[in-house]
Amino acid sequence: MDEKPLYLNYNLPLEERINDLISRLTLDEKIPQFLNNAIAIERLNMPKYDWWSEALHGVGFAGIATVFPQAIGLAATFDLELMSEVSKAISDEGRAKHHEAVRNNQRKIYQGLTFWSPNVNIFRDPRWGRGQETYGEDPYLTSRMGVTFIKGLQGDHPKYLKLVATPKHYVAYSGLEHERHFFDAKVSKKDLYETYLPAFEACIKEGKAEGIMGAYNRVNGEPCCASKLLLQDILREKWKFKGHVVSDCGAIKDIYHDHKVAKTGAEAAAMAINAGCDLICSLGISLKKNKKIKWGWISNAIQQGLLTEDAIDKALIRLFRARFLLGMFDPPEMVPYTTIPYEVNDSETHRQLAIQAARKTVVLLKNEGKVLPLREVIKKIAVIGPTADNKDVLLGNYFGVPSRYTTILQGIKEKVVGKSQVYFAEGCPLKEKSEEGFSEAIRIAKEADAIIMVLGISPRMEGEQGQAIESDLTGDRIDIGLPGSQNSLLKEIHEIGKPIVLILTGGSALSFEQAKEMIPAILFAWYPGEEGGIAVADVIFGDYNPAGRLPVTFYKSIDQIPDIRDYNMKGRTYRYFEGEPLYPFGFGLSYTSFHYDNLDLSSDEVRIGEDVSISVEVENTGNIFGEEVVQLYLSNASPKFTVPIRELKGFKRIQLDKNERKVVIFTLHPHDYSTVNMEGNRIVDPGEIIINVGGSQPGFRENNGNFVNGTFKLIGKSLMFE
């Protein structure tokens, strides 16, 4: 009887098993393992495996799955407990789908256990089409959301990973989509370490992400997928990353074809692998059908002396590490996640979680005269707008296929069935300047007792290159206002004189000054997922009290925003924007009111290197139950160099009955009150720190008494972080 090979002995150390497996591979067998669609090695009973799966806000592109609100909407919840529940549900469905596929002898793309999510790029410009995939413009919020999402995906088993999470796109990727294959982001050391890197660092150090995806673009001349600074110096040496790096799809081809820093595919592949890129997604999109040519890039690099087998083996160690940690070489009964039943996929429990998540994403931007909620029975309701009955608006991008949809129109109809008559008219096209539908919209508006207008944008207008088919720039937007004839339609309907509630959809900030002036009640619904219509209707009619907050700044116009090609953070996001926004980052109203008082610090003087505890009391002073997002901002009173105006350093979403009070406690660690100097060093200097705690940024909340502030003094010697 043949002795079991070492790599199949699950009692041996991981490193020993990986080394044994690699030692059994020939060079010709090793090379194809670098591609996302890795070949089978039948003599070792190793099946083929495709590394490419997606889980941005649900298992994507793999058939029926629960579709949760788009990532930017999840960020608007400011709710880490919810994010944990959502990511655990996604990981349940991902595991269940994989094992069902294997049982049916299917090992195709999107059926694996290595998921290329989350997107933790900083959403620094609202024109970027892929900003909807992110957690917004703030490094701290993005870090907390990203770490929580990763932990939910990867699980907490001491030996096995539930899934592999792969934060992307590393790094400084948030510009024009049609330029992403050749663009060079010029980033200062300060901006790199203060803005673009922190979320990735948190995802690796705290989240323990097993994978990371390199970006298409260059940073200061180096292609991200072949950057010694990014992949070796920072990722592996400074952050001690042990996992694998995957290129974005086609990014290796870009190194020679678009960035032109290599002359051939072989040189590009060698540059990437030698720099620390372990897995290559689609070496060359145009060469996809000819695998031998694709493999030839790596083979040629070896033959030309550009790449050694030792470098190959180092990368394979990191790749097989992921597959071993997922339990792919162990008996299924040893891996607890193999028993997750397929029935969890698209289950009623997950559907209810999607509804709850969607409710929590909704941001109440304006409620003049307390128009909302609509509590009294309204005999006739006119629903008007091109995104009211639009399925695309529910899904965002990178989505699965829900078995059931509820659009905003459907949600409203279901909410008032038997009570109100609902009329509907699109009114105008989503984007085109046309008044063709105005007359029908005006007719039903005149007949109605109340009007709900649903305007905004859809994933057809913003998204990844080539995906947003109605976008201005193959994914991005030129303007951030309401498109087409939507403003004109809104004005026409407003002039009728009936009460109007405005619902806005989108995955990024919109500019709507005219609407803000005219309309008394405005809600922002993002791309709310498969049952988004139920959630929006719950908010409109008072069955749910909204508490979402903006994870991005809403500007008055693009005139307030620097050139999108400029990666300098000056003038960008709430941290460096000095103008007056339409609505600020962190903003959101409620149907009730809150009061803050009794700010207390563990000490007024904090020795540098020590923690500081901050507590505050929050009271619901209104008449109904509500949720409040308590936000902590820090400002440096007398900085020695350029620092953010203020920075979010803590948040908690809490629930309060009417007249209930709660004490909320934050603990600041030295890293939290540090700043980044012009050389990119994170340091703490003696001086005064200003604290603001409230329901939004200081100075912007419309409710009186909604903020408390204080200071503490840092004393002692300056501290520099490694």
- HEC sequence for 109-168: CCCCCEECCCECCCCCCCCCHHHHHCCCCCHHHHHHHHHHHHHHHHCCCCCCCCCEECCE
**Residue 109, number of CB atoms within 10 A of its CB:** 14
Alpha-carbon distance 50 to 40, whole Å?
10
The DSSP H or E segment spanning 298 is helix 291-303
Let me know if 389 is a catalytic residue.
no
Alpha-carbon distance 507 to 453, whole Å?
18
Listed in sequence order, the residues at least 6 apart from 284 whose beta carbon sits closer than 8 Å to its beta carbon are 250, 252, 253, 257, 265, 293, 294, 297
Q: Are 133 and 68 in contact (CB under 8 A)?
A: no
CA angle 671, 675, 680 (to 5 degrees): 105
Q: Are 634 and 645 in contact (CB under 8 A)?
A: no
Listed in sequence order, the residues at least 6 apart from 496 whose beta carbon sits closer than 8 Å to its beta carbon are 442, 445, 446, 451
Alpha-carbon distance 149 to 142, whole Å?
10
Distances (CA, A) of 489 to 442, 470, 485, 571: 9, 20, 6, 33
Distances (CA, A) of 324 to 147, 160, 216, 320: 22, 8, 28, 6
From 179, 346, 462, 530, the catalytic residue: 462
From 248, 258, 464, 628, the catalytic residue: 248
Listed in sequence order, the residues at least 6 apart from 282 whose beta carbon sits closer than 8 Å to its beta carbon are 36, 249, 250, 253, 288
Listed in sequence order, the residues at least 6 apart from 290 whose beta carbon sits closer than 8 Å to its beta carbon are none
Residue 706's closest CA among 635, 618, 574, 599?
Answer: 618
Let me know if 248 is a catalytic residue.
yes
Please give the positions annotated as active site. Answer: 248, 462
